[in-house]
Structure 1
Amino acid sequence: MPLSRRALLSTATAAAFAAAAAPAVAAPRSRPRAAAVRHIPLQGAVNVRDLGGYLTYTGDRVRHGLVYRADALSKLTDADVTTLAGLRLGRVVDFRIPLEVQYDGADRLPSGLVAVSRQVTDNGLFGQLLAAIGSRDPVRQEQMLGGGRAAAFMHEVYRTFVTSAANRAQLGLTLRELAGPGSTPSLYHCTSGKDRTGWTSYLLLTVLGVPEQTVVGDYLASNTFRSAYDAKVREGLKQGGLMQNPDLIIPLQEVRTEYLRTALDEVRKGYGGLFRYLTDGLGLELGTLARLQDRLVDQPGTRPALR
C-alpha cells in the first residue's frame, strides 16, 4: 500500500503547511531584527543571507552553509568575490529576466562558477519602473504608480508565482536541485532579492518545517537589509531630477505581508493548499520534499525520519 502523505512528511512540515494555510499571514509583531538572520555583508550587494540556523517546529535546525538567498551580484567588488568564494558555492541560480541583466550586468562570481539563468518573470515590473522613471514626467509617474497602482502591480507579480506555468517550472526545478544527491552549496537570487527570491525562500523554509512566523520574518527582513540602500536610490532620483516624488516607488521597493498573502490566496484558489501547489503545481514528488529535509535539516533524532 502506498505510504500516506502524513507518513512521508515530518511532523514539523505538516505543522508548517497548516500554519501557511491559515487565513492570514502570521507576521511578526515587531520589525524583524537583522541579528535574527545570518547576513553576509558585502559592498556590492545588500541582501545576501544564509538560510541556515532557523529552528523547526520540532526543535531541529536548518543547516548553515548550504542554501543562500541574495540580490543581484553584478556590482560585487573584488573583496566581495573573495568572500563569495569562501562560501564554496557549487551553483548560482539567477532568476532575473534579460532586461534586468542588460541593465545591471551579469553576476560577478568566483573563478569557475557560472550562474544558471532561470528566468522567473516579474510580470513587467522592471520595465514599468524604468519607463516611469525614464519619463521624468511627474504627471505620468503619478498616473503609473500613484493611487495604489504600484502596490496593485506588486500583487499581480505575486499572483504569477502561482498562475504562470513557466514560473512554476523554474521554481520547481530550483527546489528539486536543492534536494539532489551530492548537491553542493547553492545560491539563488533576483534583482533585489526580495520577491522571486523571497517566495522561493518562503516555500523552502516551509517545506523544512520552520514555523510560519519565522518564515514570514525571513521574508520581511529584506526591508531591514535594503532600507538604507533603497532610501539612497530614492534620494538619487530626486536629486538627479528624475522624480519629484520618489516615494511613489516605495511599494515596489518593499516586501509586504499583503503581497505574500496574495500569493498564498492564489495557492488556495488554484490548488487548495500549499502542499498541492508544491506537488501538483511545481511538480515536486513526496520523495523530493523528504530529501530536502534530510539534506538541509539537522536531525538529532527528535523527529520522525523521512523514508
Structure 2
Amino acid sequence: MRISRTRTATGLVISALALGTLPAWAAPAETVAPTAPRHASHAPAHQAAHHAADTVRHIPLQGAVNVRDVGGYRTYDGERVAYGRVFRADALGKLTDADLGTLAGLGLKKVIDFRVAAEVQYDGADRLPAGASPVSRPITDNGLFTQLLTAIGSKDPVKQEEMLGNGRAAAFMREVYRTFVTDSVNRAQFAATLRDIADSRSPLLYHCTAGKDRTGWTTYLLLRLVGVPDRTAVGDYLASNTYRAAYDARLREALKQGGFMQNPDLIIPLQEVRTDYLGTALDEAAKRYGGLQGYLTKGLGLDAGTILKLRESLVG
C-alpha cells in the first residue's frame, strides 16, 4: 500500500517523539499524556483480545510463564499497537500439547530464539506448533546462564556469597545490559529482529530463557519505535516480575530444600528485571550514540523506512 507523504511525516514525528526528539523539520506536537499499563488478568488469550487501553496481554500456558502479546498499548497520538502481530515469551521447550494448541491459534509463522547454545542444550529446543519456523539468533547473556549454574552447582554457601552477594549479582546484570549496546553481534541480532518485524505480514514471536532481559530490551525498543511513551514501555518491561514471581519463588524454595543454596535470595537480582538494569543500557546508548535514537539509527542501523514500516505494520 502506498504511504502518503502526510502519513509518512506523521509516522516519523510520532516515532521521533517517542524517542525524545523530533526531526529538524517538524514542529513540536501536542502529545497524549502517557499512562502506566495495568496488568491484565490471567484470562484465556481470546478473552484478552479487546482489553481496555494500555493493558498487558498475558497468554497463560503450562510450560511457559511469561508469554505475552505486545499489542494493546496506546501511542502518543492515541493510536493503538495492534494485537496478534508480535509476541514475546520465555523458553518454549517445556510446552505441553495443550500449550501447542494455544500457540497454534496465534498463527505464528516465525519464532526467534535469542538463547545461546548452552541455554538450548540445558533447557531443550523449542516445541513449536505446525507452521511456525524456528530462527536461532543468539544474543550473548555475558555468561549469566553459566554464572548461575556455576554458583548453584557448587552448593558452597561461601562461594555463592562471593559470586553473588554484596550487590555483585545486580552489578553483573547491569553488565549484561551494557552489552546490549556495546557488543556489535548483539546489536546486529536486535536489528535483524526489528527488521523482521517490520517486514513480516504474519504473526511473529521472539524469546530468550526467562523472557525478561534480551526479550525485554527488544520489546522496549519496539514499543518506543512505534510511538509508545517511555512510561508505558517501561511498564511492559517490568511486568516480567509479575508473571515470573511465583515460578521464581518456587525455584528458590526448591534450591533451598534440595541443599543447593542456604540463601537462595542471592539469585533474586538475576531473576528480576529492574529499572536500573534498563537504565544502564540507556545510559550506555547515550554515552556512545547520544541517546536512544542514535543507538537505533547508528548502532542498529535502522533507517527511516524501516521505522515507518514498523509503525505501519503495528499501529492503527
State the TM-score, normalized to the length of structure 1: 0.89
Partner of 1:103: helix, strand, or coil? Answer: helix
Give the structure 2 partner of residue 149 of structure 1: 168
After TM superposition, the runs of 4+ consecutive aligned structure 1 residues lying more than 3 A away are 6-11, 28-32
> 1:9: how far off?
4.6
For 1:160 and 1:124, locate their aligned partners in 2 and report how far apart those are by CA, in whole Å: 11
Aligned pairs (5 A) from 1:1-307: 7=9, 9-18=11-20, 33-35=39-41, 36-180=55-199, 183-298=201-316
For 2:117 and 2:10, locate their aligned partners in 1 and report how far apart those are by CA, in whole Å: 39
> 1:175: how far off?
0.2
Query: CA deviation digits over 1:254-282, x for unaligned, max 9?
Result: 00000000000000000001111111111
Give the structure 1 partner of residue 44 of structure 2: none
For 2:155 and 2:172, locate their aligned partners in 1 and report how far apart those are by CA, in whole Å: 20
For 1:172 and 1:125, locate their aligned partners in 2 and report how far apart those are by CA, in whole Å: 22
Q: Compare 103-112 and 86-95 and name the one that shifted more.
A: 103-112
Work out whether residues 34 and 221 of structure 1, in 8 Å CA contact, stay in contact via their aligned partners in 2: no
**One-letter amino acid matched to 1:166:** V
For 1:30 and 1:288, locate their aligned partners in 2 and report how far apart those are by CA, in whole Å: 27
Work out whether residues 34 and 225 of structure 1, in 8 Å CA contact, stay in contact via their aligned partners in 2: no
Work out whether residues 37 and 56 of structure 2, in 8 Å CA contact, stay in contact via their aligned partners in 1: no
**One-letter amino acid matched to 2:78:** G
> 1:12: how far off?
2.5
> 1:30: how far off?
8.5
For 1:34 and 1:139, locate their aligned partners in 2 and report how far apart those are by CA, in whole Å: 41
Work out whether residues 194 and 222 of structure 1, in 8 Å CA contact, stay in contact via their aligned partners in 2: yes
**One-letter amino acid matched to 1:214:** T
Give percent identity, aligned residues only: 67
For 1:255 and 1:268, locate their aligned partners in 2 and report how far apart those are by CA, in whole Å: 21
State the TM-score, normalized to the length of structure 2: 0.87
Work out whether residues 179 and 186 of structure 2, in 8 Å CA contact, stay in contact via their aligned partners in 1: yes
Note the residue ranges of structure 2 that are not aligned, 5 or more in a row.
Answer: 22-33, 42-54
Work out whether residues 109 and 133 of structure 2, in 8 Å CA contact, stay in contact via their aligned partners in 1: no
> 1:111: how far off?
2.2
Give the structure 2 partner of residue 23 of structure 1: none
Work out whether residues 108 and 131 of structure 2, in 8 Å CA contact, stay in contact via their aligned partners in 1: no
